[in-house]
Amino acid sequence: MDPSENPPREPLLTLPGALTAYIGLLAVIHLIRVLLPVDLEYWTIELFGFIPKRYDQTLLSMPFPGGTGAEIWTFVTYSLLHANLSHIGFNILWLLPFGSALARRFGAVRFFLFMAVTAIGGAAAHLVTHAHELAPMIGASASVSGAMAAAIRFAFVRGSFLSFNRGDADEAARVPAQPLFRALRDTRVIGFLAVWFGVNIIFGMGSIAVGSEGATVAWQAHIGGFAAGLLLFSLFDPIPRAQRTHSEPSSSDMPDLR
């Protein structure tokens, strides 16, 4: 076979530009915060971190930096802040395989919008489960969880990045996704969900709430981001729905062997 007939394949571990930019943004923001005086550093957490108490309408409500504007932007900006290097490192580590595939599939604009939407989903879940809490929540884990949830919609399809038969990175990221209900019947997806929920509930790896009593894990925000990513994936997916019907044979297409 003529080698010229086979175009060079892009390595699966090569990072797409959108993901590189996202990781670079997290790193630059963290570096700037580290260089700030302690008081100013914590002020940035109060200004950009997600604080459930900020939405308290009782007589015990407190003023926070940013006013009404912060009540809006902190639903997203909290996800760009991290407590320390291990915190940001864990998030990037989880994001590399799943975020890379998602960024290739969505493109830059869809990818950044998706990360913002899943951050909002995580903040909403945290607000519902931590009403009136004063400790700020920071970390990209809700968005990372959303990226993982979206990726499993196509990750196990033949030719994708978690299958045993796959092409180059771009091809692996663009295989037709499974419909949601079919994906939730896939034993591999079910196994992934079981492990993911177990890890997050038991160990709570990821988003951290920074308060006077120390750091605690906001695992409910992970679940909120994950649910948003799983349910909203189709709204962002650029692969035409018509192509998805050919991803796997449906039960009606299989021969009856009874």
Question: What's the pLDDT score for residue 210?
Answer: 47
Question: What's the pLDDT score for residue 139?
Answer: 93
- Asked if residues 44 and 36 have their Cβ atoms less than 8 Å apart, the reply is yes
Helix intervals (H) in the chain: 17-35, 38-48, 67-77, 85-106, 108-129, 141-151, 169-173, 180-183, 187-202, 219-236, 241-244
Q: Tell me the β-bridge partners of 237.
A: none
Both tokens of 56, joined, read: 């308290």
Q: Give, for all 258 residues of the chain, the pLDDT tens digit.
A: 444 455 445 444 578 999 999 999 999 999 999 999 988 998 999 999 999 999 887 756 677 888 889 999 999 999 999 988 988 998 999 899 899 989 999 999 999 999 999 999 999 999 999 988 888 999 999 999 999 999 888 887 776 666 555 556 677 677 788 888 888 888 888 888 888 887 777 655 444 544 444 456 678 899 999 999 999 999 999 986 544 444 444 433 433 433
Q: How far apart are CA 2 and CA 22, in angstroms?
A: 39
Query: From residue 46, how far is each of 39, 50, 173, 210 by CA, in Å?
Result: 11, 8, 38, 10
Question: What's the pLDDT score for residue 257?
Answer: 38
Antiparallel, parallel or unpaired: β 137-138 and 208-211: antiparallel
Helix intervals (H) in 36-81: 38-48, 67-77
Question: What's the pLDDT score for residue 196?
Answer: 83
Question: What's the pLDDT score for residue 233?
Answer: 94
> Whole-model pTM?
0.80
Neighbours of 154 (CB within 10 A): 28
Question: What's the pLDDT score for residue 65?
Answer: 85
Question: What's the pLDDT score for residue 63?
Answer: 79
- Asked if residues 19 and 111 have their Cβ atoms less than 8 Å apart, the reply is yes
Fold of the domain spanning 14-241? Rhomboid-like fold (1.20.1540)
Question: What's the pLDDT score for residue 30?
Answer: 95
